[in-house]
Amino acid sequence: MDASYHRYILQFKQPSGTSRGVLTTKETWFISLKDGDNVGYGECGLLRGLSVDDRPDYESKLKWVCENIQLDRSELLDALKEFPSIQFGLETAFLSLNANDPFHVFSSKFVKGEDSIAINGLVWMGSADFMNKQITDKIASGFKCIKLKIGAIDFNKELDLINFIRKNFTANDIEIRVDANGAFSPDDALEKLKRLSDLNLHSIEQPIQPKQISEMAELCIKSPLPIALDEELIGIFDKSDKNILLEQVKPQYIILKPSLVGGFSKSNDWINCAEKLGINWWITSALESNVGLNAIAQWTYTLNNKMYQGLGTGALFTNNFDSPLNVKQGALYYEESQPWYFKL
């Protein structure tokens, strides 16, 4: 078996804002496997500034993987414990290699084009006018769940934006989620959560910065708005530590990004821990290209989770790879009439 890796820079169609800054490009890496006539592809969805494996030896670890690809698969993945995005890419590449079609990594009605995945419409941070236009466009496009990234502009203006939706649509019409990306301080978070809860929101992701365990646990007890852990899960490798975190914080939800937590098997560990504690969950992509998004979407469908998933990021880039993935009326479809074009 031969293995190689490639770096690729995705270009945003327009600058996309988060509480950590404005993004114009997204670096990603691919692992390619070849065994006789069979090929397999996996995307290592590194997020600079957020991924725990954003470290100087990242490329050298990819090189090591390719040089040691003959090792036992579980041995390889175990050696990548501190490199969750490479775990995700390698796990996907092996699934791809062993599939009849390298882009059919999980067989289901979804990949056959017989069913779809309900997803949220993502509203990026920016000026009030810019965010308002996104909201209007998402609703007009048929989305029944809107997710707003908040924390970059004046909080009262963000409340006004959410209130704009609620004046026209009830919680039964449009589900609203917000993602603070840790923008609130522990001192003012509870007050802001109370004000947000007046607008009948579904949940808030990561209201305060991660690694403030006691403060987050107290918020989860006192908040009238359900809290979802996101960044809090990054960098926790052992299943026992996952249990400890969830038992201590007791969030209402966790959000799983396979690129950030170590692929499908490690995501399943989180799901198992959460379900034992009565904690709900959903899956989100993390700005991968269509290659990574495709694998995440196909896996997500097999989980049979009926909540809205966060899988609508494929249209963000000017130089994404053409694929059968298509978003219509707030759902993600796999339409085989649209061919793949994947070339590095």
CATH numbers and ranges of domains, the chain: 2-97 (3.30.390.10), 117-334 (3.20.20.120)
Residue 237 scores a pLDDT above 80: yes
The set of long-range contacts for 65-70, using a CB threshold of 8 Å and a minimum separation of 24, is 65/3, 65/5, 65/31, 65/90, 66/3, 66/4, 66/5, 66/31, 69/1, 69/2, 69/3, 69/33, 70/1
Whether the per-residue pLDDT at 270 is higher than 80: the answer is yes
At 3, phi and psi to the nearest 5?
A: -135, 145
The whole-angstrom separation of Cα 243 and Cα 265 is 16
Q: Which residues pair with 310 in a beta bridge?
A: 284
pLDDT band with cut points at 50, 70 and 90 for residue 156: very high
Average pLDDT over residues 23-37: 95
| Structure confidence by residue, pLDDT tens digits, 287-335 | 999 999 999 999 999 999 999 999 987 788 999 999 999 999 999 999 9
- Tell me which residues are annotated as active site: 149, 257
Strands 117-118 and 331-334: antiparallel
Q: In what order do the strands lie in the sheet with 253-256?
A: 121-123, 145-149, 175-179, 203-205, 227-229, 253-256, 280-283
pLDDT of residue 127: 84
Count the alpha carbons within 13 Å of 324 in the hemisphere toward its beta carbon. 18
> Does the pLDDT value for residue 19 go beyond 70?
no
pLDDT of residue 17: 66
Mean pLDDT for 163-168 is: 92
Kindly report which listed range (2-16, 124-138, 231-245) carries the lowest average pLDDT score: 124-138
Express as a percent the part of the chain with pLDDT over 90. Answer: 87
Per-residue confidence (pLDDT) for residue 15, from 0 to 100 = 79
Region class of 246: left (phi > 0), else alpha (psi between -120 and 50), else beta: alpha
Q: Is a pLDDT exceeding 90 seen at residue 219?
A: yes
CA dist., res. 299 & res. 258, Å (int):
10
Nearest CA-CA partner of 294 in 318, 324, 255, 336: 324
CA distance 105 to 240: 29
Cα–Cα nearest to 148, from 137, 127, 134: 134
Instruction: Provide the pLDDT for residue 22.
Output: 79
Please report the pLDDT score of residue 20 as a whole number.
62
Smallest CA-to-CA distance from 330 within 115, 112, 114, 141 is with 141
pTM reported for the whole predicted model:
0.96
Q: Give the per-residue pLDDT at 188.
A: 95
Q: How far apart are alpha carbons 13 and 33 in whole angstroms?
A: 30
Residue 220 phi, psi dihedral angles, 5° rounding: -65, -30
